[in-house]
């Protein structure tokens, strides 16, 4: 399958998940003119125009980070508990990070006016506190086993400094732990981010 990505963007979560699960993948970058690294018009692949975008071997295209992460987990049988409450906690954490954190990074990506940034900082601080509480002293967000929620969390934590909101200790610890994992080191290197 092809993962269409920008270096360091939220597609990093899917990239880490692909490496962790051992599924085979090809990385295809896109440029700012929405041209793919293999010379195609990105909008004709994903009219939404954003990454991550996953192209399956039969040409089917999947979009939306939460869905792509779920697909990787289902396909590999890894990074998502098969049943029980922990499965729902993983999906809950993904939805929370997508709607309450990722979308609140927009003012910092696009340089919105300061009052909007300040409002976003307040909401982000609350959301980080909730995740830190959930993390507690566990190794990963939901349990002591890594899940797709941790792949997304790592990207969320990479971007956090752009907002100027300080990370609670449990999240700073998670970031240090995650960035030392072989899958994360490899994903960053493959995206040219060393």
CB of 34 to ligand GSH, least distance (A): 8
Comparing CB distances to ligand GSH, the nearer of 10 and 79 is 10
Do the beta carbons of residue 128 and residue 167 sit within 8 Å? yes
Comparing CB distances to ligand GSH, the nearer of 105 and 140 is 105
CB of 42 to ligand GSH, least distance (A): 10
CB of 169 to ligand GSH, least distance (A): 26
Do the beta carbons of residue 173 and residue 153 sit within 8 Å? no
CB of 99 to ligand GSH, least distance (A): 9
CB of 36 to ligand GSH, least distance (A): 13
CA distance 189 to 141: 24
Give the residue closest to ligand GSH by C-beta: 50
Handedness of CA 173, 130, 14, 71 (dihedral sign): positive
Comparing CB distances to ligand GSH, the nearer of 25 and 173 is 25
Name the site residues for ligand GSH (rule: CB under 6 A): 9-10, 49-52, 64-65, 98
Question: Which of 99, 24, 21 has the alpha carbon at shortest distance from 66?
Answer: 99
Comparing CB distances to ligand GSH, the nearer of 10 and 91 is 10
With 0-12 / 13-18 / 19 or more C-beta atoms within 10 angstroms meaning exposed / middle / buried, residue 149 is buried
Comparing CB distances to ligand GSH, the nearer of 31 and 74 is 31
Count how many Cα atoms sit within 13 Å of the Cα of residue 14 in the half-sphere of its side chain.
Answer: 32
Bridge-based pairing of strands 26-29 and 53-55 is unpaired
């Amino acid at each position: 399958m092809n993962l269409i990505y920008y270096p360091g963007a939220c597609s990093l979560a899917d990239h880490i998940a692909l490496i962790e699960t051992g599924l085979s993948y090809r990385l295809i970058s896109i440029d700012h003119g929405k041209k793919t690294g293999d010379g195609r018009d990105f909008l004709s692949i994903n009219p939404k125009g954003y990454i991550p975008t996953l192209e399956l071997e039969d040409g089917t295209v999947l979009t939306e980070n939460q869905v792509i992460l779920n697909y990787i987990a289902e396909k590999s049988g890894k990074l998502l508990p098969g049943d029980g409450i922990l499965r729902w906690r993983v999906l809950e954490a993904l939805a929370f990070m997508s709607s309450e954190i990722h979308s609140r990074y927009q003012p910092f990506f696009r340089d919105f006016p300061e009052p909007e940034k300040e409002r976003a900082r307040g909401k982000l601080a609350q959301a980080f506190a909730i995740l830190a509480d959930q993390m507690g002293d566990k190794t990963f967000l939901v349990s002591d086993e890594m899940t797709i929620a941790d792949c997304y969390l790592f990207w969320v934590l990479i971007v956090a400094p752009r907002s100027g909101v300080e990370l609670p200790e449990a999240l700073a610890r998670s970031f240090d732990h995650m960035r030392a994992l072989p899958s994360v080191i490899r994903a960053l290197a493959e995206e040219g981010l060393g």
